[in-house]
Amino acid sequence: MIDFSNIPNNPGCYLFKDKKDKVIYVGKAKNLKKRVKSYFSKTGFDPKTEVMLSHVDSVDFIATDNEVEALILESNLIKKNSPKYNINLKDSKRFAYIQLTDDDFPRILYARRPQGKGKFYGPFVSAAARDDIIWILKKTFQIRTCKRMPKKACLRYHIDLCLAPCIGNVNKKEYQDVIKKVKMVLKGKTGELVKDLTSEMKKAARQEKFERALELRNQLSAIKWLSEKQNMQRLKRYNEDILNYEVKDEKVYLILFNVYKGILENKQEFEFDYNDHFFEEFIVQYYSENQVPKELILPQKIEEPLVSFLRKKREGAVGVSVPQKGDKKRLLDLVQKNVELTFFGDTEKLEDLQKRLKLQDMPVVIECFDVSHLSGTSTVASMVQFRNAKPDKSNYRRFKIRTVEGIDDFAAIGEVVKRRYKRLKKEEQNMPDLVIIDGGLGQLNSAIKEIEELGLRIPVISIAKKLEEIYVPGISFPISLSKKSKAQKLIQEIRDEAHRFALSYSKVLRKKEMIS
């Protein structure tokens, strides 16, 4: 039984914990006692919240002076505890920073967040701008790229793209002098650097060191080009972020546009579990780690404490618009259209597949297995996952075959299917809506046997390569799907991706065997 007596009426954050004292949800509230009590006195929550509440064993809290402090604290607590029932934005594939390592001979790298050793520069809201800088710096200053310096010079040295500290071609002090110039570029001090390089170039020319003068001239040209490009981007200025979303089947599908002075620069897609406060949570989490623009165009109003949080993060004014008409409304509608096309454009394929296979549920999550080998060696298997008819590469898996000797595709498929779903069952994770096996009736029966022995009920089909025939359980002959049907094309697309993924892994292992 939750004890509410010690929970204050102050603003702050509350932490729901399970029986193992693990934080499973973090929330913020204007009045902690009222918010926490509302969870246990009301009914009619969404299914995810109902499940969460069934696991709550205790409640902790941290009081703050105001709601803005609570928002900042909430963001930090979510980062620290990674609660199961808060939304998770970790799949955002953005590398917004440039990292200069702290090695004796530093390297320049992409970084998703400013974490770890070395110096970080950014964030860069434009991936293209960041890529230009890294490319120019590597090419111009010949910075090493190898993770471990080999004992002999590589190809990059021979084509004048690396100073080759690995063979002593440059000492530590000389290399650090180069790195100082790199830092000046990354700090935006290109004017100062141009002045220094010009002076050094003239001195080299007077001393008739013409090769060095030419090298410095090339560096100057590259820095001036980069400086002009950066100035053009600065003139555009970061103008607006536009967000819109759709909620379907307890999932939120959200797209964010970064617009610079009317020019669309970035489009980002997010998909996460729905809860009653998802929009507020998203804004706090996203802008805790990303630059806050001058204006946000949103589909719904946000509370004043959240606007204050954004102003504090930006250290300046932030406009928030919820347009009902005009150009901004058209931009909001454009994002909405992108949500529909990006996340639900393939719904017809899934509906056709459900209809033709007579599936009880829409096959939103489909997993497909394939085995690859070369004359019985380097036998591996792959599993690819499609979500809403699109590849979900974060959930791709590769398997080395452990229990099968030689060529036995039936046994190999059985092994990997068992390993995959035994693990999901143990971890209490959701099962796919459909499993596809690359192969004929033998491979299908092998997979079904393992799934049934695990006590699971998952629809399984197979597709044979030669005639692209579809086999289903309980029938010894293939079923007929129109070659032009959306269902048939989707099955083939998923199978081809599984085959490609397995083949690439097989090649990697064979290459390693050859080297060893």
CA distances from 433 to 86, 99, 293, 442, 457 (A): 24, 42, 40, 22, 10
List the structure tokens of 356: 């033709």
Name the residue ranges covered by the structural domains of the chain: 12-81, 97-236, 240-343, 350-515
Tokens 């180069």, residue? 178
What are the tokens at 79?
């980062």
Q: Is the pLDDT of residue 456 over 90?
A: yes
pLDDT digits (tens, 9 = 90+) for 7-39: 888 888 999 999 998 999 999 988 999 999 999
Closest to 426 measured CA to CA, from 402, 455, 447: 455
For 79-114, write each residue's pLDDT tens digit: 778 898 988 765 444 556 788 898 889 988 888 777
Residue 396 has which token pair? 């791709």
pLDDT per residue as tens digits for the range 109-150: 888 777 788 888 876 655 666 777 787 788 788 888 888 888
pLDDT band, residue 470 (cuts 50/70/90): very high
| Contact by Cβ (8 Å): 487, 349 | yes
Backbone torsions φ then ψ of 374, nearest 5 degrees: -125, 105
Q: Does domain 12-81 have CATH number 3.40.1440.10?
A: yes
7 exposed, middle or buried (CB, 10 Å; 0-12, 13-18, 19+)? buried
Percentage of the chain modeled with pLDDT above 90? 31
* H/E segment holding residue 136: helix 127-141
Nearest to 79 by CA among 283, 290, 285, 312: 285
pLDDT at 307: 93
Provide mean pLDDT across the span 496-516. Answer: 75
**pLDDT, position 400:** 85
Residue bearing the bigger pLDDT, 134 or 283: 283
* Coil, helix or strand at residue 312: helix
* Residue percentage of the chain with pLDDT more than 70: 89
Residue 224 has pLDDT above 80, yes or no: no
CATH class of the domain at 240-343: alpha beta
φ, ψ for residue 150, nearest 5 deg: -75, 175
Mean pLDDT, range 400-416, rounded to an integer: 86
**Which residues lie below 8 Å from residue 330, measured CB to CB, with a gap of 6+?**
none
pLDDT at 234: 39
Residues constituting the chain: 516
Distance CA(441)–CA(464), nearest Å, equals 8
Average pLDDT, whole number, for the chain?
A: 84
pLDDT digits (tens, 9 = 90+) for 294-353: 899 999 999 999 999 999 999 999 999 999 988 788 888 888 877 876 777 677 789 889
For the stretch 32-39, contacts whose Cβ atoms lie closer than 8 Å and that sit 24 or more positions apart, written own/partner, are 32/7, 32/8, 32/61, 32/63, 33/4, 33/7, 33/8, 33/9, 34/9, 36/2, 36/4, 36/7, 36/61, 37/4, 37/7
Tens digits of residue pLDDT in 350-387: 988 999 999 998 899 999 999 887 655 667 889 999 98
The count of other CB atoms within 10 Å of the CB of residue 16 is 24
19, 22, 57, 83, 462 from 40: Cα distances, Å: 17, 19, 12, 19, 47
CATH superfamily, with its number, for domain 350-515: UvrC, RNAse H endonuclease domain (3.30.420.340)
Q: What is the pLDDT of residue 390?
A: 84
Q: What is the pLDDT of residue 215?
A: 80
40 Cβ contact list (under 8 Å, min separation 6): 2, 53
Structure-token match 């990006």, residue found: 342
pLDDT at 448 over 60: yes
Long-range contacts of 313-320 (CB under 8 A, 24+ apart): 313/287, 313/288, 318/292, 318/293, 318/294, 319/294, 319/295, 320/295, 320/296
Mean pLDDT, to the nearest integer, of 402-430? 90
Q: How far apart are CA 374 and CA 359, in angstroms?
A: 36
pLDDT of residue 231: 45
Tokens 């901004």 — which residue?
Answer: 328
Q: Is the pTM of this model over 0.85?
A: no
Q: Which residues contact 282 (CB under 8 A, 6 or more apart)?
A: 87, 89, 252, 254, 270, 272
Same fold, 240-343 and 350-515: yes
**Chain-centroid distance, C-alpha 444:** 33
Helices (H), 82-120: none
pLDDT of 97 reads 78
Contact by Cβ (8 Å): 273, 87: yes
DSSP single-letter state for residue 479: B
Instruction: Tell me if 141 sits within 8 A of 160, measured CB to CB.
Output: no
Distances (CA, A) of 412 to 268, 366, 398, 408, 416: 39, 20, 13, 6, 6
